[in-house]
Chains A and B, each alone.
Chain A
Amino acid sequence: MRYDVGSLGDFPEAGVRVVDAGGEEIGVVRWRGELFAVRNVCPHQLGPVARGPLRQRLVADSVGDPRPDPDTPVLACPWHGWEFDVRTGRPLAGVARVRTYQVEVEDGRVVVAKR
């Protein structure tokens, strides 16, 4: 099923918006012009992961030298802070993924595809 979840202009750059797609809450992230969609359910304790902060991943090439990585947008669950790469749904630690969906722009409209 495909769901029209709003106009592209409703989705600001470097932001996340939680939308309804067929009765399911989905977080749509716009990052460097690209769109990503994740289910608003954290695999840990089922918290509203897409209502947490969207940040650049913090990486450290050596001890005591952290830097933000603008290539990796990360959502942090507002409950326990579990972090997920919004492009893939992969966790930065552990194995439990957040579910992702295909999202496209058609004629200026944002469309989420659910299998």
Chain B
Amino acid sequence: MAYTGPRIDADVHHAWRDDAELLPYIPTRWRQAVADRQFAIGPAMMSYPHTAGVNKRLDTYPPIGGPPGSDVATMQRQLLDPHNVSRVVLGFDVGLNAAVANPYLALALVQALNDWSIDRWLSQADDRLYGALLAPTHVPEEAAAEIRRVGGHPRIAQVLLPWNSLGRPFGHPVYHPIYAAAEELGLPIAIHAGGGEVAMSTGQTAAGGVMPTRLEFHTVLPQTSQHHLLSFITHGVFERFPNLRLMLSEVGVTWVPWLLWSMDASVDELRRESDWVRRLPSEYFFERVCLTTQPLEETPQRSQLIELLEAVGGLEDVLCFASDYPHWDTDEPNYVERRLPEAWLPKVFYENARRFFGWDTELPPAATSAQAPA
């Protein structure tokens, strides 16, 4: 095997074992309503049920019970230990709770999730476990307050935005309080695919109308994040927040050359409406944005994938490995390794994420769980 170095996994999903595990973190005023099942806090009803009945790898159910992603030991055994993963960024089960329709409940749930994650996962002795803080996006000022409330924790690595609640792309000025708070704390933003696939969600999934099938839903995942990236650049988010970084998670990779070429080609003609876009869009992109590798496009031939990725220079400095464990569309590290150019592997598996998350000091060699008991 060509790559033997450490890996950083930028997109892993953790979950609570059952409602009882999360309930103590929910504010008293909501606890009774949740306990009475007036509101579900567990897995929300999926608008696009997976054909296997669950959108997880079926071998990731922990032997002690509970849903995939709810047991540290199982995650260590299946992901961290065998693949020399020195850090993971945990991002809930995509954090769709932020997009539940009731904005007051959404805020209470998001705060509970953040407290639960810090308490149950990010305080573990296993110092490979880092996490995202979930932002409540109904009211951006509340998101900023939540970032300032928990964003100083040493193992919080980024601010997670599931897709938008307000019907506007994420560069819109209404969201800027979120970016001010994130920049203040030195935290990058992650926009993760998801938000529209649960019933009664306010997240918007794609243009062109609501998709009736999961195949449509899953295939057009990149569409929404492309819009958000475009919005970040045209609304001057990177100009207004000069130290802000953005990660686009779980939306594939090969569309990037098209989007960069399209933006750059039109910027001169369209500058009159957005004079604050002072540089080429591609320059902002390569300076501030990273993408996770998963789901790495499954071209029939490896050479086709490489040709697509190399069509615009510099993607080897932008891609950060992500497994998406324990979700069903996971990419195994060994699979990613077989698909990408060998010279890219140290950057994609490790260096790019280390730089993106500001983990500038050399990380210790990946511990095994025997050395770092949970």
The residues of A with any CB-CB pair to B shorter than 8 Å are 45-48, 51-53, 76, 78-81
Contacts and interface: CB of A to CB of B under 8 A. Distances in A.
A78 B51 CA distance: 11
A53 B291 CA distance: 33
Interface in B302-357: 328-332, 334-335
B58 A51 contact: yes
Interface of B: 50-52, 57-59, 328-332, 334-335
B115 to A, nearest CB: 32
23 contacts: A45-B331, A45-B335, A46-B334, A47-B57, A47-B59, A47-B332, A48-B59, A51-B59, A53-B52, A76-B51, A76-B52, A78-B52, A78-B57, A78-B58, A79-B57, A79-B58, A79-B59, A79-B328, A79-B330, A80-B328, A80-B329, A81-B52, A81-B328
Contacts of B51: 76, 81
Contacts of A53: 52, 58
B109 to A, nearest CB: 30
Contacts, number: 36
**Minimum-distance CB pairs A-B, first 9:** A78-B58, A45-B335, A45-B332, A79-B57, A78-B59, A81-B52, A51-B59, A48-B59, A78-B57
Contacts of B329: 80
Which DSSP category, helix, strand, loop or mixed, fits chain A's interface? loop
Nearest to B61: A78
A40 B329 CA distance: 19
Contacts of B334: 45-46
B254 to A, nearest CB: 18
Nearest to B338: A45
Nearest to B326: A79
Nearest to A76: B52
Contacts of B57: 47, 78-79
A78 B334 CA distance: 18
A46 B332 contact: yes
A78 B58 CA distance: 5
A48 B78 CA distance: 13
A78 B52 CA distance: 8
Contacts of B335: 45-46
Q: Could you say which of A46, A76, A78, A79 has the most chain B C-beta atoms within 10 Å of its C-beta?
A: A79
